[in-house]
Every structure is written in C-alpha cells, then in structure tokens.
Structure 1
C-alpha cells in the first residue's frame, strides 16, 4: 500500500516495524511524519505520537475482543465489555489460573486505551468495525486484493467441481463441505471437490473421506502456490466457504471473484461483504442447507458463471488496489 501511495506526488511514505526498531528510531520517524498509520494498538508508538502531537490512523485487521469471534454484535458497547470480562474470568476459572485473569484483564485495558488514544480507527470490514465500536466510531477501509489487477485465467471450468481454499481448521468449515458433497453424491450427483490448504484438521478430513468412501470425488492438495490457487478457482464452478466463526474479512471469495467465480457462503462475520450480493447463501453450520445451495449451483451452472462475472465487477469496485489506496490516501490527507 505504501508503494501505491508513493506513486502520488502528494505522499512520501516510510515503513518501519515496531518489532525491529527501537523507541528512539520510532520517535525520530514520528517527528518527521505529518500523520502516522499503524496496523496495531502498539501503545508505546501511540504514546510517542501523542507526545509529538501527530495524528494517528489505526487500522484493524483482526477482532480486538475474543467474544467477537463467536457471537454477533451485542446491543451496547458496555455489553461487549461485560461479555469480554466474563469470558476472561470464565477461562481463568477453568484453567484455575488467577494469573491468566490478571493478564487478560490487563491486555483488555491496554487495547481499550490504545483504541481511544489514536485519532481515528478504521477496520478492514464493516463487521470488524461494528464489533470494535466501544464508545467511538470505527470506519470501514478495505484491504487491497492484488488478484483483482490480474487478467482472469482461461482454464476451462468443470461445472461439477467445487473448491475450498484456506487453512484446514474447524472454524473455516471444510468439514461441512465434505458432508454436503457426500449428500449430493448419495443423491446421484457427479460432484468433485478440490481442497487446498493445510492445518490441524487435515488428518481428520482424510479419515472422513475414507469413511464416506468418496476418495474418487475429493482431491486434497495440501499447500499450493499462487498460480496453483488461480488454477483451482478457474477449474471450479464455485468456491465453497462455510466458516463457523465471525471471520472479520475472509479473502478467498475475493480471490475467486478475481477469476470470475462465485462463492457459496454463509452469513457470518465479514463474509457477506467479501462474497458480495451475488453469492449463494446458506445457513451457517447447516449441512442440509449447504447441500441445497450447492445443488442450486449444479442445476444451473450457466447462472453460476454469470454470478461469478458479477462478483468480479463487485469486488473490483470495492477491493481493487487502486480503490483501496485512493480511500487510504483521502483518509490520511484529512488527518494530516
């Protein structure tokens, strides 16, 4: 993003890591800057900016509160804090560790202080912004998706192939895809599933494929590179992304859209934002409803490809690097 901004003659961006620089080096950089953009609530850096009277733009990429991972937004900011404190205390009681309670409450306090010392807070999705609004406004500022600058591939699509791309953990939901695919196979559909990624659930998924007897219908590719991921999207009729947590900004749907492919998605976290209005939606963690949504794709693959083309237009209009860098530049200029 800094490179894109530096192409504008009105900006001169320098990048530094708080992990690799001393407070003295950070202080020198802060004093030279008109505005500081940070991706973390690093309290020492924020305090240096306040001391130097420099405006700070904080961008969030991950939930600031553990309770926001599992539940929809509470009615009030106070209820968010209450739920967070309750969760910290429940975990500490279960672990029989007073120390973890002190540490958890301390970290929560530091996060809240950091969020309120900066000049402006933005988040990479509306869902994350809403879950972080604790007595102050948090705005939406999209992350850039470089794949949207690439020309979509020309590999021939297989109208019966669905793909999953991501870390193999229960929260990402690949287990639901296997069960739904098996339902379709039992019904007589010639479904193929391609799963790309690694993670702690990998062995369990392999065992489940064997138990269901669908080895001939499922490919588990493990770790793949960028070009392989593009090829996987191009081959599939749709990406299936059945997350089981409030993921703030899942990006595989945007990568799939860059190749002109639609997503089969559930309404959780920031997924409706990245999957967009043209996705096939199903009830979260419902294998039967996921089966229904995948069946809708199979019944009319031409419509799915049309939705994929519209998904690309939607994604390019909201997440292309030029769009993201322009919005960031405007935000920084207002603060400077």
Structure 2
C-alpha cells in the first residue's frame, strides 16, 4: 500500500513565491502517482490539487519566527493534528515546520525536509555571496546583524537576535532528526554540507519541477525594438534591488537607449524613488508596475530581451530564472547558487556576472545590446530547450522512498 504523506506548509500557493510553487507541483506529483496526500497550511484559500485534502489552521499563519514556532508547538498538542500524524507514514516539511519533527519521529513517521533556503545552516536562512561557506560563530552573529539592519530594515529587531539565534540553533537539532533532506541544487548541497557535515549522508539533490504550463506554452516572442529588461524581484535587499537604480543611472549617463520594466512588491517610498529617478532620465525609459499577477508577468516576457537578476545571495534555484528560461527570455544573472548549473552549457553563461559588481553588470548588458533580434531569440530558444530537460528527477520519488 502506498505511503500516506502529510505535508505541513505554513503558506501554500498561490501565496508565497518559488518555494510555494514548487511545493504545489510536488504535491500534485504525489497525488497523480497515487499517493494519499494531506496538506496542513495557514493559507485560507490554497490552490486546489486534485485528490489532495487541505486542512487550514491559524496556528501556521504567523510570519515572525519566534511567534510562528511557538504556535507550531501549540499545533503539536492539538488532538486532531496528532490523529493526522498517526494516520500517515511520511511527514513532508517544505518550509520551516521543524518543531514538528520530533513529534513525527515519536509517532514513527519518516521525515523529509525540503530545503528551498539555508535554514539549517544560517540564522537568516540565506547565504550572502560575500560570506564564507562555513562561518565561525563570530561571523554568523555579524551576518545576523547585517541581515536585520539591511534586509529587514528594522534596528529594533536586532534586540531579538540572541533569542532568535538560540531558536535557530535549536532548529538545527530538529533537522538532524530528519531521514532525508532534499537540496534543490548541487551548490546548495555543497554549502549545507560544509556548514553541517553531519547532514551529508541524508542529503539528496533534486531540481525543482518546471511548471508544465510553461513547458507546453506555445512561445510567440516578439521583441521590443528597444532592448527591454525585466526586473521582477521587488525591493528586496537580498535580491539586489539597491543595484537597480545605480544601473539605470549609469545607463542613462552613457546615453543608452533601453527600457526597464520593474515588477514585484515595493514599499511606497521605493516606488516614489523609482518614479523620481525615471523623471530625471533622458535616454532610459522606465515602467514601474509594482505587484502584478502571474499572467501579466508571462505577458511581459513575450517582448522582453532579458531578465536582470542581481541577487546578492546564493540562490538555491531561483524560479525567476527558471521562468525566464522557459519563456525564452535571456537571464542576465548573478553567479550565485544554482544559477550557473541552470545555464551551464549554453551561451548565456557569458552574461553571468559577479554578485554586487556594477561594472560586471554594465559589461553584460553591453554584450546583450550588441546582439540583434535574431541572436537574442535564438539564445532564448536554446535556454528554453535546456530548461525543459533540466528537472529529470521526480521529487515525489525521494519523498516516498
């Protein structure tokens, strides 16, 4: 009899981003293969998956780590949740429901942790390009301070670093109890292994599944006459947003004819900053969209020459780049995390730049704009074929092994 899989995911698609989309595709894989799957989530209206039962609980909704894990401990005491554990064979943890691992092991479940970040080895769950693969305790604390000040932009949060750091260390102990840990790229697995060698024997590498609608989509690329660059990562510091205005300013100073389209979640002050900058530019056209639905993003890719992805962290396997390749849009991206693995063997590796290096970015954009329409479309087609064959391991097979 196929094992029954209990998935605990604090948020579920269409909420969230790449990790949540991957979880939705994997749950669908499991169900389609014949496994009985139950999803417990804090998302009130998750996108339905045929054959999958969803259970909502507000105990998974809090976003603050301290509160979230406290509520998760409360969830572990709920009778209905204990009954769910007893009736399933596998606990699948795709986000951060680590406090539930000891309870699952107590009930004899096999536990699979799916890493879409660096939660077991980093206080802040990300790895910046400028930090060592295996930092000392002192380096970790300095990086925690940097992250709170720049990524969260909230000095008050720094007061909670000692408590948050203690919980992070505790989470490492929970994760060590897992039977299998899935990493989504070889580079991510390398970093995790260096920081937590005790996990090495449990790690399996499986690239995230590609959304089938992107693979089957009939591609009709019609490039804008002016080189058009997409930036879809919002005003996140770790995604390199602070680099975007600098690039725009330099391009305009060099009298480069180019169009920038920015999308994603932005705070009002950053929207105002971009609008003020756009008014001062003479040669560069800037279109500021803010947060748009996914269908709109797909439409934008139809006329775009490239996706600019200036992330300053080791992205495990960024879906923005996956989607860009699947839609025939050339990624001009940071050499970080799984990006190189995705582009390896294609001409797009010439457009990869060192994270945070403005001069590198300008050089890569110059290479792009020196290409004609047919060359850009041909490279996009090459990338589209590459990404179609990229994910050849069914994650569902690892979960249910």
TM-score range, shorter chain: 0.7 to 0.9
Any conservation in 2 of the 1:254–1:275 contact (CA below 8 Å)? Answer: no
Distance 1:97 1:38, change over 3 A: closer
1:140 correspondence with 2:205: yes
Q: Does 1:202 align with 2:271?
A: yes
For the residue of structure 2 that corresponds to 1:145, the secondary structure is coil
CA distance in 1, matches of 2:224, 2:147: 47
Task: Quote how far apart the aligned CAs of 1:119 are.
Answer: 0.8
2:220 maps to what in 1? 154
Instruction: Report what 2:179 is aligned to.
Output: 119
Q: Distance in 1 between matches of 2:146 and 2:364?
A: 38
For 2:63, the equivalent position in structure 1 comes to none
Q: Residue 82 of structure 1: CA displacement?
A: 5.2
* CA distance in 1: counterparts of 2:137 and 2:371, whole angstroms: 46
Aligned to 1:267, which of 335, 349, 354?
Answer: 335
- Following superposition, the deviation at residue 144 of structure 1 comes to 2.6
Q: Distance in 2 between matches of 1:86 and 1:80?
A: 10
Quick one: distance in 1 between partners of 2:160 and 2:145? 9
In structure 1, C-alpha distance between the alignment counterparts of 2:140 and 2:385, rounded to whole Å = 39
> In 2, are the aligned partners of 1:249 and 1:269 still within 8 Å (CA)?
yes
1:298 Cα deviation from its structure 2 partner: 1.4
- Does structure 2 retain, via aligned residues, the 8 Å contact 1:176–1:285? yes
The alpha carbon displacement at 1:111 in A equals 1.2
CA deviation digits over 1:123-182, x for unaligned, max 9?
A: 233343333331212332322332533414425112521211121234323453444345
Which structure features the higher share of helix residues? 1
Q: Deviations over 1:238-297 (max 9, x none)?
A: 111112333333211111112111101121233334555533112322222212111111
The DSSP-based 3-state class of the residue aligned with 2:296 is helix
Aligned residue for 1:234?
302
1:46 maps to what in 2? 101
Q: Which residue of 2 is the match for residue 217 of structure 1? A: 285
**1:14 equivalenced with 2:38 (yes/no):** yes
Take 1:287 and 1:86, find their aligned partners in 2: how far apart are those partners?
25
Q: Which has the higher contact order (CA 8 A, sep 6+)?
A: 1
- Give unmatched runs, 5+ long, in structure 1: none
Shift of 1:213: 3.7
Equivalent residue in structure 1 for 2:390, among 293, 318, 327: 318
1:86 & 1:163 partners in 2: Cα distance? 33
Q: How much has 1:41 moved relative to structure 2?
A: 4.4
Number of positions where the alignment pairs a residue of Structure 1 with one of Structure 2? 324
- Partner SS, residue 282 of structure 1: coil
Contact 1:250 1:274 in 2 (8 A): no
Task: Write the deviation string for residues 218-245 of structure 1: whole angstroms up to 9, x where unpaired.
Answer: 1112222222111111101111111233
TM-score (norm 1): 0.83
